[in-house]
Structures are given as structure tokens and as C-alpha cells.
Structure 1
């Protein structure tokens, strides 16, 4: 055990911590940066370690690591990594306060596993290098371009728990560009198995940025006054991050995999949860297998607050969320196998759910297998549910009220459920009421669409349609599905 008692200590160099060591500091132990770099390394960076065979079984507990902005002219620097980890195994960082990060990272994790970061405070970030998307906690593989020391053998970072921490501005500096995540990747390599839970993020730009991560659980966190609380990012084939482990460009796009976003509270944001896949020269990098459930979104500024925005995403479940005072609840483009169920929305400036016109070629020129079921919406400036460029869809058993509240005079009819330029779908058993809406359901420029048993106030219309009816589907004597029209 290395015990550092209460007091203020000027650090004139890094401390190298070796295996089976606990660094214990009191709550009012303050380490001040007194040189150009940070505080702790797991071992000597000149010793070449591989895989997870670096210094291990290390705990850093308590205390304050202060980058000493007040004396930055006396101890000048442009960037600091406060704690470096490489090829590490079984590391705990508990109850440490990180003050005023400079350009780079509070904790720089490279090719390490079994890491626990809990009960810490991360506050303040300045960026004299004007770096882009640098994180308070970086979760990186150990690749060329990472911190020095060890062998660049592309060891991934995995099995990380980050819980009960706070991320915020300090008295001297604003909040972080990115609190947790990464900004680089390798083709066919995924950093893997992260749990981020019960943290408090306030007044930072981005909370969690998953840059082609796999198996991530983001659970029971609070995000307030953020621009992008959660970003799930893919890699485009033109990026350097599409290079393989030998540095050879793959030209292939790849996405993030297996994310659970559950039980989080979002207040005052630009885009609360985003998932953006990438396309490059015929290569689609879809983000896949994402569940967004039981979250609470409060936009406050409904001119900007977009709760969920997804593009080039597959196998996505959005269930049992609450949305209030937002620009839009759910916005989708070029997405496949989407299930939107049992969400509750109030006071949307535009729509509760909206599918944008696709901007990508080939298979991503439409959104497919879209299921919107059992949702409620009370209050929207335009339509309640609006699907475009969708193929194979169902909109069933939704309760939509008080749409078209803005009554925009642009010649467009607005109301409860609208589909435009869609194929192969059903709109059934929805109800829509309100004094300003023109229609309960409207299907325009559609093919093979059935509108059945909807209720409410206003029109139910199918226009500019091919093999589409207000009616129901039946089977003829040859076993083929046929449509029966019920309009009188």
C-alpha cells in the first residue's frame, strides 16, 4: 500500500505503480501537477508488455488529482493524460476527483481488461490543442498511435464497469467534449463489454460516444444540459479507422453492435440518443441490435430537442419510453427491422415519429420492416406518425390526439397517421382525435397498403394508390391474399 496523507503535494513527475499495489489517498489529499504531464502510470512505459500482461491488480483510491490550471504559466503544458493504463488487468479507480483535464484524458485506457471506475468526479476541461472528441475516459485498443510503452499488438479493451461517477464543469473550466468513449477503431476489431450505469452527466457536450463498440449497457444514468448525451457511431470505409490492424485500408464500413440503453433520464439536449451508421462505395456499416427502453426524455427547448435519431441502423427496439416537450420524438432514416412499441409522447413540436426521405442508394434507399404499435401521443405541431420511403410496415393500435396544432398554411393536410411513398403495409386499429387535424389516417402514393378499422375525427383516405384499399385482406379460393374495399 502506498498511503498519501492529507495535504497538498506538488508532483514533479509521474508515479509508476506496479502490480498488487493500492494507492490510498484521503479525501483532502491534493496532488498538484508540477510538470508537463500527469500523475500515474501502471508500470514503466519503457518495459514492453503484451496482451494483458502489464502491471495488474492495482487500486487507486481517494484524493484529488489537480492539473493546476492556476499555475499553468509556471508549469506549462498543452496536454495531459492524468492516469495511463496499458496492457492492464484488474484495475480499480475509486473515489478519485479529477480536476481540469487539459486537451487529452483523465484516464487513458489502452488494451486493458477488468477495469472498475466508480464514485469518481470528473470536472473541467480545457482544450489548448483544439483536439476533436477527446474523452475524459478513453476506452481504446493498444494500437500504433496510442500512448508509449508496451507492444502495439492491437489488444482490445474489454470488461469495463463505469458507475456512480459525476461529469461536470469546474469552477475554472467548462465540461468535457466527450465524457466516455473513443474516436478511433480498426477494421474487424471491436472494443467489447462495457457497463456504464448510475452516472451523472451535466453541462458537457457528449456523454457517451460508442465508436464501433460491442456489447455496451448504458443504464440508469442522468444526462442534463448536454448536446449529445449518447452517440453510437459507425466507421465509414473512407476513414483511417477502417484500416486493418496492419494499417492497410479496408475500404469497408462497419458499425457498432449490441447496445442496451435503459432507464436513463435526459433533460435539455440537442439529440439525446443517436445511432448513425456509415456508407462508402457500396459498403454499408450498420449499427445493429440496439434496445432503447424505459427512458425519460424532457426536451425543454422544443425548437431543438430531438430525442432519438437513427440512420443506417438494423434490429432496433424503441419501447416503453416517455417523451415530453421535444422537437420530435423519434426520427428515422434508412433503417431496417425497427420496432416502436408502447411509447408515450406529449407536446411534440413536429411529429411523434417521423421517417425521413432516404439519402442512400441500394438497400438503404428505403426503411424496411417498420412496426409501430401501441404508442400514445398527445399534442404535435404537424402529424402524429409520419412514414416515408417505407417498405413492409405496420402501424397498429396507436392513440394519437391533438395533432396539427400549428395549423401551418402550406397546403399540406395533417393529422394522426400519414404514410407517403410506401409499399406493403397495414394501418389498422388506430384512433386519432383533435379539433385541428384533417385526417385520422392518410395513405398517399402507396402500393399494396391496407387501411382498416381506424377511428377518430377526420378523414380516412387512400390516394394515388396501387392495389391499396380502405378495407381488409382476405384469401381467395386459390389461397392468394386479396384486398376487399369497404368504403361505401
Structure 2
């Protein structure tokens, strides 16, 4: 297509080849305009085979607005990217509905800058995992935000792993179509390049409905904002994972993302976990996910799913959240400097905060090596937890104070302490435990002090709730 402004009126149009977008192109589709895919590729791409761009100097200043892109899988059952973009800057995709993509992405964004995706609908994803799964199909994203590599997007070059920068996804819907279930993942990536990070990714005011892997999957992202989204019936709401150093472009390095804010989201009935954030250790080097804020979210869960799982993280603030009916509020392994403050937690099947340096699968590789240290647990209100409210094992450095705990050990009444710090937990300091009806610790007996007035206050609260 030549540069210019194109208007597509209401109606259905059979598309027999993908459309090549050049610089300074604007496509406006009227409400009711439908492009019906009738070939084996996608709808739009901003380059041709043989093109080679550097930096963000590819085809940019592009707008696609309105209309429906129909994959027509009953007639054209073939993998395809609906919209493929690389090396462009100043790209807007607004109010577009993409229906039934097979085996690839609704939008594949590689090495682009200043991209806005708003008001779009991503409905329906199809893959036969047994016949033609490629190892990543089970985690495929509707919107992929990636480096430009030949393995990831080989339609045109250059393949120098240019990162994406300044990408915003807002006011979009991700879910099932009439014929196919929702995408495995809504927004994210599943590959990375050594020493390079996707930068300034903003994801807000979206709905992720029934994602079979995760609503949002950041993959070694830097400066990420995930705000005011709704996650409904997803396996994971947010699954933040990172390269372990064994990938094609990892150069043997495990590296993790940094600077993430997760704020004001609603998580409704996540099937496995609401938030999952994991770094790695390779060749003795710890690649922690750093600088995480989890603020003011609402978690409406199910009794066998966890709210948060943190492993190899550093500098984490969990504050002002409300969590109802989950397995655990915080499950923490090998993390440093974690603050759990001013949260309201109710109806936890197991522990509210469980911290250990030995994982649930029995791994003891990092026990006693200082990988798990410095937790600050304060100002939380806990009601009705099945086991201990706070259970700490192998933790080096902890403060617990100003918490109110109502009805701990509901699983088997009176058999567990409200707060447990095992003998392997050490260097507690300035602790004042408030609101624990039972306190069990061998190493903390001379370090914990109990506020007698607040102990009486909590007993009154318990009496009120057990009448």
C-alpha cells in the first residue's frame, strides 16, 4: 500500500493476500467492516521480504482503526500472525477486533517504539497441540512484545535483536470467540536476548478472560506498569518469568526483569496463582527480579490457588491489597527485602505468609546459604486462616509487628501457632508481635515481646467473631 489514508466501508471483504503497510499509512474501517482471510498468511505487515531496517527506521507512522479481522479458520486452517510489525515507530492500532488466530499471534510486535494498542478485542485462538504444537504454542500471546530476531520474526530484517520500547496496551478485551477458546496469554513474550530488555511497557484497563496460561506474561521486561486490569478465570493472572540462561539468544546468562508496578487490578478466580514472579540462579550468579511493587489489588480467589508466589526476587513491596479465599497470600522462596504491609486477608486455606529456603518440591539446594532474608511483616489484618498466619523457616532477618490475627488454625483448631519462626530462622530484631494468640519460636523467645494491651484487644475481637 502506498502512503495515504484508506477508508473501508461497512461490508465483508475477502482478502486473498496480506496487505503491506508503508510509512505514513492510515487505515480506517467503518463499524461493520470485516476482512475475511482467504489465504494462508495474515492481514497486515509493515515490510517485505528483503527489506532491512536499523533502529526504529522501518515503516512507521501507521494507524489501523476499526473493523474486524476474521481468521476464517474453517476454510483456511493454517498458522498465521494477524498483524506483524517490526522496526516501526509511532504505530496506533485502535478499536480493531481480531477473531480466530491459529498457532501464532494476533499482533506480533518486534523491535518497535511508541506503540499504542487501545480498545481492541482479541477473541479466539486455535492450535492442535499434538499435531502441530511447536513447544511454545501452549503459552502463545495475543500480543507479543519482543526483540527483533530471525528466530522470532523472519519476514524481513535486520535481525540485530532490537528491543521494543514504549508500548501501551489499554482498554482491550482478551477472551474466547464463538468457535475457539481464549489465547493462552494476553500480553507478553516468551523469549529474550542477553543484556537487552523490553522497556516501558504499560498495560492497563484491560479485561483478560479465561487465559489458559496467563493474562500478562512479562519476560525480562524493564519498567513495567500493570494497572487497573481485570483478570477472570485465568490459570495465572500475571506470570512474570525470565530466561534461565539456556535459550537460543541467552548467551548462557540467566537474567531477570526489573522495576515492575502491579497496582489496582482485580483478580477473580485464578485457577493456579494470581501473581507468579520467578528469577533464576545459573553458574553461581543470582538473577533476581528486582524492584517490584504490588499495591492496592483485590484478589477474589479459590481455596486451592495461591495469591502470590515469589522466588529469587529483591526489593518487593506488597501493600494495601485485599485478598479473599485463597490457598496462601504470599509464598516466598529465596527472596530478599520483602515488605508485606497493611493488607486485608480473609479466608486463607493454609498460611497467609509462608517463607522458606527449602521449596515445596523438596529442593534443599539453597538451604542455609542466605538466599532468603529480610522480611518485614506489619500492619496486616488477618481473619480466618487454616494454619499459622505467618510461618517462617530458614529466614535470615525478620520484623513482625502491628498485625491483627483473628481465628488462626481453623483447619485443626488450636493445633498451630498463629506465628511460627523455626529454629533455622535467625536475626529477628525489634519485633513486637501484636495480635498473635499463639506464638511459637525457639530462637525468638528472647527477642519477641508481646503488647499485653493488644493481646487483650485481640481476645475481645476473637470473642466477637466466635459468638
Fold match by TM threshold 0.5: yes
State whether residues 370 and 396 of structure 2, in contact with CA within 8 Å, keep that contact through their aligned partners in structure 1. no
Larger displacement relative to structure 2 (416-425 or 105-114): 416-425
Q: Partner of 1:142: helix, strand, or coil?
A: coil
State whether residues 39 and 82 of structure 1, in contact with CA within 8 Å, keep that contact through their aligned partners in structure 2. yes
The 1:364–1:166 alpha-carbon spacing in structure 2 relative to 1, beyond 3 Å, is farther
Larger Rg: 1
State whether residues 7 and 29 of structure 1, in contact with CA within 8 Å, keep that contact through their aligned partners in structure 2. yes
Runs of 4+ in 1 over 4 A off after TM superposition: 362-366
Matches within 5 A, 1:174-213: 174-205=181-212, 206-213=214-221
Matches within 5 A, 1:50-449: 50-71=54-75, 75-77=76-78, 79-128=79-128, 129-130=132-133, 131-147=137-153, 148-205=155-212, 206-243=214-251, 251-269=252-270, 270-299=272-301, 301-302=302-303, 304-358=304-358, 359-361=364-366, 365-407=370-412, 413-420=415-422, 421-426=424-429, 427-433=431-437, 439=438, 441-444=439-442, 446=443
State whether residues 401 and 416 of structure 1, in contact with CA within 8 Å, keep that contact through their aligned partners in structure 2. no
Measure how far apart 1:50 and its partner are. 1.3
- Structure 1: tracts of 5 or more residues without a match: 244-250, 434-438, 458-488
The 1:210–1:284 alpha-carbon spacing in structure 2 relative to 1, beyond 3 Å, is same
Q: Partner of 1:100: helix, strand, or coil?
A: strand
Number of aligned residues: 435
Measure how far apart 1:449 and its partner are. 5.9
Q: Distance in 2 between matches of 1:406 and 1:123?
A: 41
Q: Distance in 1 between matches of 2:366 and 2:331?
A: 19
Measure how far apart 1:42 and its partner are. 1.3
Q: Partner of 2:202: helix, strand, or coil?
A: strand
The CA deviation string for residues 238-277 of structure 1, in whole angstroms up to 9 with x for no partner, is 333422xxxxxxx331111100000000010120011111
State whether residues 357 and 395 of structure 2, in contact with CA within 8 Å, keep that contact through their aligned partners in structure 1. no
TM-score of the superposed pair, with normalisation by structure 1: 0.86
- Structure 2: tracts of 5 or more residues without a match: 359-363, 457-467
Measure how far apart 1:21 and its partner are. 1.1
Q: Distance in 2 between matches of 1:179 and 1:399?
A: 38
Q: Distance in 1 between matches of 2:289 and 2:120?
A: 31
Matches within 5 A, 1:9-20: 9-20=13-24
Cα root mean square deviation, aligned: 1.8
State whether residues 77 and 102 of structure 2, in contact with CA within 8 Å, keep that contact through their aligned partners in structure 1. no
Q: Partner of 2:74: helix, strand, or coil?
A: helix
The 1:241–1:371 alpha-carbon spacing in structure 2 relative to 1, beyond 3 Å, is farther
